[in-house]
Amino acid sequence: MCPQRVLFSPITRLSGLLSAQVILDGGRVAEAYVSSPLFRGFESIMGDRAVTDAVYLTQRVCGICSLAHGATASYLLDELYDNEIPENAQYLRNIMYGADFLQNHIRHFYLFSLPDFVQMPDRPPFLRQNLLDARFDGATNERLAAHYGEAIRAAQKSHQILALFGGKAPHQHSFVHGGVSVAPTADKVAQAGALLQEIEAFIRTRLLPDTDLIARAYGDYFYIGRTPLRLLSFGLFRFGPKNERFLWKGGVLTEGGVTTEPQVRLIREEAAHSWFSPVDGALAPDPDKPGGYSFVKTVRYGGEPCEVGPLARMRINGFYDGGTSTMDRICARSLETALIAGLMREWLGRLVPGEPPIAQKKTPVKGQVTAVTDAMRGALLHSATVEAERVVRYDIITPTVWNFSPKDRSGRRGPVESALVGTEIPRPEWTFTMLGRIIRAYDPCLACGTHIIDLKKDASPSRLFEYPLQ
């Protein structure tokens, strides 16, 4: 039989627009192309804005992990203004960041991933569910499906904790440069503790057992969607008056072991297969570019593609010793959820109720700064060149750019493409079920990965990230 080209579009139950085209040869995925047809322009929006606007504007990159962008922009501003972060603010910032992780991970497991494995009730929003490899009995399906609704309430409580200290969620307003602008009063701390207690109970009695149940029933997915061992993390949960210390270390994990913290100078972007073409020394959107197939750019570390996300963090820090498969990604995310809830409990206990813990300096001490941290889906970078406190240039590399990179100029695949290639499809009718499970395990967020719908075709030019900044 001749190789068959299959288009999977749109891929549902994720954030943003995503398509995948695979070449099937003898029931095996021989090649894959993952594509985001969504163009955005947040770096352009930042042009000539007050640099302090970055905390608020960059959060609009995403409606799910918005705090991650606000946090990274705050770290960037802390270094720009040489702020000293009060100890209470360090705990408060990480409590808020942890709460946003909890809502994201719980929603991903139940709202996006669970219907890949569980037969949901035949009513909206699950009508005509296309699950052709269901392995649970009726009672187990019913119990797991019931947890879907409970998960929405658990995620809501996570957002309530964030809103208590952040003013609102998503797109909080208090995690800003110099600290946190909301007072951690005793009643707020007590309310956050009560909400966290309910979330922890959900994680303990629902999320972890449900993850174990799916991992045992679909154990073959520990051998499906595997990628070469190249995992990268910038580190997570910054502490110290200068944000100088990560609680969870960063690194690059390969077959040779874990290296020290990733070096920004080794990060490069390219656009060999992205819908951008050079125009007057910059890049302009070019959706008709020959060989292009995505608005996501290609990012490499030391010339190599790297996978980022919960699996990278858990393995680099020694919390998880599994492989690099679809099911490993799901298990690592659930494990991380439980660990973060425990940390939040500890940090809440160390908070001292009182005035807003914030001390903002007024004069920048440098003109160029880059800030990195891990976000829910992996490594996140913000970089800015500033003159008279106005943005000259602002770059963002999101986790989705790492994982959903199109092929580079040498034809090497990005992590998701690597995970798809080699997959054996035992039955043709299982094709979309299997591809969907592999792809969703990465928690895709293409709204973050692509960089304004341009109805007038006058979008501003884009650039490739290159260090040192030009």
Known binding-site positions for Mg(2+): 43, 62, 396, 451
Question: Which element (helix H / strand E) includes 258?
Answer: strand 257-258
Which strands form 257-258's sheet, in the order they lie side by side? 231-233, 251-254, 257-258
Which strands form 4-8's sheet, in the order they lie side by side? 4-8, 19-25, 28-35
Write the CA distances from 133 to 65, 116, 130, 433, 434, integer angstroms. 31, 9, 9, 8, 9
How does DSSP classify residue 414?
P
* Sequence ranges of the binding site: 43, 62, 65, 396, 445, 448, 451
* Sequence ranges of the binding site for Fe cation: 65, 448
Query: CB neighbours (10 Å) of residue 122?
Result: 9
Q: Give the C-alpha separation, 147 to 109, whole Å.
A: 11
Q: What are the backbone dihedrals phi and psi of residue 97, each rounded to the nearest 5 degrees, phi first? A: -65, -45
* Sequence ranges of the binding site for Ni(2+): 65, 445
395 DSSP β-pair partners: 383
Q: Which residues of 414-424 are buried (b: 16+ CB within 10 A; e: fewer)?
A: bbbbbbbbebe
Q: Give the C-alpha separation, 354 to 35, whole Å.
A: 49
Q: Are 357 and 180 in contact (CB under 8 A)?
A: yes
Peptide bond into 290 cis (omega under 30): no
299 DSSP β-pair partners: 269
Taking only Cα atoms into account, the Rg of the chain, rounded to an integer number of angstroms, comes to: 22
